[in-house]
Structure 1
Amino acid sequence: MQLVKTGLCAFGMSGKVFHAPFLKEHPGFFLSAIVERTKNDSAEQYPDATIYRSVEEMLEQSDVEIVVINTPVQTHFEYAKKALEAGKHIIVEKPFTVNASEAQQLVDLAEDKGLFISVYQNRRFDRDYLQVQKMISEQKLGNIREAEIRFDRFRTDPSGKQHKESPEQTGSGALHDLGAHLIDQAVQYFGMPDRIFADVFSMKGEAYANDYFELILFYSDRLRVRLKSSVFSKEAHYAYIIHGDRGSFLQERSDDQENELTAGAIPEYGTLWTQPLQQADGILNYSSESGTTERLLTFSEPGNYMNYYQQIYEYMVFGYALPSQGIEILQNMRIIDAALESAREGKIVDVVKS
């Protein structure tokens, strides 16, 4: 198998859970470089990877082909630009950048250099997201008229991470964090909206970045999509509610890959390594072609974040489609920009599409 040498820009939670294990277990990748500024935590699990003390040092001294930019979002633009200028392909953790202007500059630079940008939208490989995608594609619900996607948590105490919670840090807060996932999913399901109305604020108070948002996406063909997130949600809601002119579908947020990886699960290549569902995680209620009403409990199929890196490998080696390429995720950043403008102005705003 052709080996693709890859380097990680950080070995925090993102590197330990979402990237390094998959790069190690996928036979087509060689995790050859890891940036740790002061520690050597990666040495035991990844002894073949050289530890560098800065991103700049890794770019100067290593021969990696792909650089994973998994540092705080406020540094994404700087490090992504340096990696592209060094002739490296890049994978950027979500959110892509702090705004669409930065994202556009990186997309243009990558095109000039003949390099690729992929943004790590791993939630496209969640079992719940894939189940909703399947239900929409099967058209049992008819023409979709209303949809709601939620990502709630119960985290009422501050985490202490300034790059995520300080209101003075551009790109901090739930809209850039969880919103980057929900917006991406809405666009994958329904395309780009025409307009948006947004309520974005901090339930913890003005000393903290936004931890609540509700976005209403307006589509011209009689469709409304609501995206919502709160950190004061002790009881779980259905994460996906889809209503069409023939029926409805309700889906729990049932994917547990993050928790399993955090607990030490090994994402084995070529296997469904996640734990199976113990009970149904969805409800489908629709009118069949014969006119009878069907109400079914549904079971989603397993998701697998390994498929993201498999698609990256297939792009590198065989020229297949690149997952979540930068020019595509640039559109998501335009929605985030529009949402912030809407919340600030208190009005519906148009979404820039190009």
Structure 2
Amino acid sequence: MSHSINTALTSFGMSGQVFHAPFLLNNPNFTITKILERTKTNSATKVPNSIIVRTYQEILEDPKIDLVVVNTPNYLHFEMAKQALQYGKHVVLEKPFTNTVEEGIELIDLAKQKGLVLSVYHNRRFDNGHKTIIEILNKKLLGNLKIFESSFDRFRPEIGPKKWKEEENPGAGILYDLGSHLIDEALVLFGQPNSIYADLQIQRKNGEVIDYFDIKLYYDSYVAELKSGMLMKELGPKYVLHGDKGSYIKYGNDPQEEQLMNGIFPGSKNYGIEEKSNWGILNNESGRGAYPTVQGTYQHFYENIYQTIVNGKELLIKPEEALDVILLIEKAIQSSNEKRVIALDK
């Protein structure tokens, strides 16, 4: 493939506008050729050289399209990704990968059968906090890790307008939405746990889907706790790490999402760079002070997709890894329903 990768987006809501289009537009190796907008024309001004289509079939039947980005509501992920693969397209799926392990296995097998690239947009692997924690752990600045906590706090007491997120659809609720990010992060950092315990709740008035979770992943010598909720008026720390020689605590989210929403894209001055006032605190044998946050790099996801499709490089986010996330989500649901720790096979 000598030309740029002709790419189609299957929606142009926040996901398309903030997390996909900016990186595709700013990478010369991609061309957004078609965007599916069933009734609106939001992409007309932001991606003027792309063609707006009203049906998915117009994307599937276009032989010039190489890559399909399935960034639609969660309950549509499996069928749309399956169709794209059947039509010979490479596929990037928004997280969560699928709603069940069985669906994920079917997509992986189909992609292998067709010789196509299948990946999942777990962009939080390129968050500044995640990259900083990798650096701290690699440098053993905390000694032997004992406690890891990662949180996604929000204050949204009212039920939101997006019905597919707030009603009982497959993949609805923050366990699949934000939980997939936090679980993926833990798996990248620590691998498969020995066991899992989860407390899943519906806390908001008139809520229909899970809007709070507290998940504990048990390893040989430490515990990873993953938490999120919609009733956190006072936001807690994003990360808390304790080891036998030190601690690291960090507040605040990666600035990339806010920057992208404000039109600050990769290549812009200070993109992905956090203000020093937001750096986390490291307290260890060398003293206590602010620890520099590593720059966030969401753009690396699509750079890798290009290198994998064109040059056969190793895929950074493999579908098998995304499948492990769905497995742990299913085990978390089982644990909460049965109110017990669930042992995991490795």
Instruction: Please indicate the TM-score interval, normalised by the length of the shorter structure.
Output: over 0.9
| Partner residue, 2:323 | 330
User: Retained in 1: the 8 A contact 2:142–2:247?
Assistant: yes
Deviation of residue 296 (structure 1)? 2.0
User: Retained in 2: the 8 A contact 1:335–1:351?
Assistant: no
- The residue type paired with residue 179 of structure 1 is G
| Partner residue, 1:264 | 263
User: 1:68-79 alignment to 2 at 5 Å?
Assistant: 68-79=69-80
Deviation of residue 25 (structure 1)? 1.0
Q: Name whichever of 336-345 and 300-309 sits farther off.
A: 300-309
| Partner residue, 1:290 | none
User: 1:129-208 alignment to 2 at 5 Å?
Assistant: 129-166=130-167, 168-205=168-205, 207-208=207-208
Cα distance in 2 for partners of 1:337, 1:61 equals 36
| Partner residue, 1:228 | 227
Q: Which runs of 5+ in 2 are unaligned?
A: none
How many residues of Structure 1 are paired with residues of Structure 2 in the alignment?
345
- The residue type paired with residue 256 of structure 1 is P
Q: Which runs of 5+ in 1 are unaligned?
A: 288-292
Q: What is the DSSP-based 3-state SS (H/G/I as helix, E as strand, rest coil) of the residue aligned with 1:90?
A: strand
Cα distance in 2 for partners of 1:276, 1:216 equals 29
- The residue type paired with residue 156 of structure 1 is P
Cα distance in 1 for partners of 2:278, 2:160 equals 33
The one-character-per-residue Cα deviations of 1:287-337 (angstroms, maximum 9, x if unpaired) are 2xxxxx521211202212111111112222322221211111101110000
| Partner residue, 2:277 | 279
| Partner residue, 1:301 | 294
Task: Tell me, yes or no, if structure 1 residue 64 matches structure 2 residue 65.
Answer: yes
1:339/1:51 CA distance change after superposition, 3 Å: same
Deviation of residue 350 (structure 1)? 2.3
Cα distance in 2 for partners of 1:89, 1:272 equals 32
The one-character-per-residue Cα deviations of 1:183-231 (angstroms, maximum 9, x if unpaired) are 0111111111121110001111464211100001111x22111100111
Deviation of residue 276 (structure 1)? 4.4
User: Retained in 2: the 8 A contact 1:128–1:253?
Assistant: no
**Cα RMSD over matched residues?**
1.6
The one-character-per-residue Cα deviations of 1:55-113 (angstroms, maximum 9, x if unpaired) are 22211135211100000010000000000000111000001111211111111111111
User: 1:1-12 alignment to 2 at 5 Å?
Assistant: 2-12=3-13
1:3/1:245 CA distance change after superposition, 3 Å: same
- The residue type paired with residue 196 of structure 1 is I
Task: Tell me, yes or no, if structure 1 residue 317 matches structure 2 residue 315.
Answer: no
| Partner residue, 2:336 | 343
Deviation of residue 129 (structure 1)? 1.2
Deviation of residue 141 (structure 1)? 1.1
- The residue type paired with residue 173 of structure 2 is G
TM-score by length of 2: 0.95
Q: What is the DSSP-based 3-state SS (H/G/I as helix, E as strand, rest coil) of the residue aligned with 1:279?
A: helix
Q: What is the DSSP-based 3-state SS (H/G/I as helix, E as strand, rest coil) of the residue aligned with 1:14?
A: helix
